[in-house]
Amino acid sequence: MLKRIDHVAIAVKNLDDSLALFKTLIADGVAKVTIEEVPAQKVRVAFLHIGDTKIEFLEATSPESTVAKFIEKRGEGLHHLAFETTDIHQEVKDVAARGFGILNEPRLGAEEKLVSFIDPKTANRVLIELVGENKPK
């Protein structure tokens, strides 16, 4: 079952510059920032926390990463919409049964959470990420 929107992700060329830009936009300084690298996905990730909301910034660490290819093809911008789920393994099965294409089985992503992506060709050209707790199945 989907619980809530977990985050919105933006693909960027330079993580530090983009964080500075969005911190200027927020201006009041209440945003918390966490940064990590996800080597398996060849990205450096930052989460800008504003209350219960998160904006994720994705910077490629390799020209072969999907984020680098995304930016090369489309430029910087909105990359995906992520939903938190109570049981990612069951949710992947359920959305596949409802006709959505699944790009990957749940794998470890940012924030030590399991993630799986829905094929944008089956979701109005929107890349959707399912996010669940890191629980082995």
Q: Is residue 24, in this structure, part of any structural domain at all?
A: yes
Taking the C-alpha atoms of residue 109 and residue 132, their distance in angstroms, rounded to an integer, is 10
Question: What's the pTM?
Answer: 0.90
The helix (H) or strand (E) run that includes residue 94 is helix 88-97
Q: Is residue 15, in this structure, part of any structural domain at all?
A: yes
Q: Is residue 65, in this structure, part of any structural domain at all?
A: yes
Q: Is residue 109, in this structure, part of any structural domain at all?
A: yes
Domain that holds residue 97: 2-132
Of residues 50 and 66, which shows the higher confidence score? 66
Q: For the domain that residue 48 is a member of, what is the CATH number?
A: 3.10.180.10
Q: Is residue 86, in this structure, part of any structural domain at all?
A: yes
The helix (H) or strand (E) run that includes residue 83 is strand 77-85
| pLDDT value for 134 | 73
On the question of pLDDT at 30 being above 60, the answer is yes
Q: Is residue 137, in this structure, part of any structural domain at all?
A: no
Please state the rounded mean pLDDT for residues 54-61: 96
Q: For the chain, what is the domain count?
A: 1
